[in-house]
Amino acid sequence: MEPKKPIRLDELDRQHALRQLPFTTPDGYFDTLPTRIQAEATRRTNHRFTISWSWQRSVSTLAGAGLVAALIWFTYPKKQDSLEPELLSNISSASVLDYLQDQDIYLEDYSDIIKTHDMPNDSTLIHELHVSPEAIQQMIEEDAAGTVTI
C-alpha cells in the first residue's frame, strides 16, 4: 500500500473543487451585522421578566405550603422515649422468656456476645472475698474427706 501524499491547498489550481468556498453570504451581510447585533441586544434588555401579583397565585401558594406542612406533620416519626425502670420491673421473667421464645430467640444465640473479659478472674474474686489461700486449701481437703465445717 502506498503512503498517502499530503495535499497543499496552494498547489491546487483555482478552479479545483477543494479551493471553492462551500458557503456564500448575501451581499452586504457583514456590512449590516454590527447594527443588527446592537438592535437585538437593545431589544433583549428592554424585555424584562416580570411577576404580577394575583390572589389566585397567592391562594395556590399558601395551599401548597399548607399541604407540604400537613404531610410533614403527619408522616414525621415521633421520638420514642426510653422506658422507665419501674415499668420494666413490672414485667415478669417468664413473660420475657415467652416473648423471646415466640421470636425464636434463645440464650444460646447470645452466648458469643457475652463479654468474658469484663468478668474478674478467680484471683480477683478470692482477693475481694478476703479469704486466705490456707483457708481455701483447708476447705478443699475437708470437702474431699466428706466433712465440711462452716
Residue type present at position 32: T
Which tens digit of pLDDT belongs to each residue from 66-88? 999 999 998 988 777 777 777 77
CA angle 145, 146, 147 (to 5 degrees): 100
- pLDDT value at position 68? 96
Residue 109 to residues 92, 93, 100, 106, 113: CA-CA distances in angstroms?
A: 21, 18, 11, 5, 8
Confidence of residue 109 (pLDDT cuts 50, 70, 90): low
Rounded CA gap, 123 and 21, in Å? Answer: 102
And the C-alpha cell for 64? Answer: 401548597
Least confident residue range of 49-53, 66-70, 111-115, 116-120: 116-120
- pLDDT value at position 118? 57
Position with higher pLDDT, 128 vs 70? 70
Q: Is the pTM of this model over 0.85?
A: no
Confidence of residue 36 (pLDDT cuts 50, 70, 90): very high
Position with higher pLDDT, 66 vs 54? 66
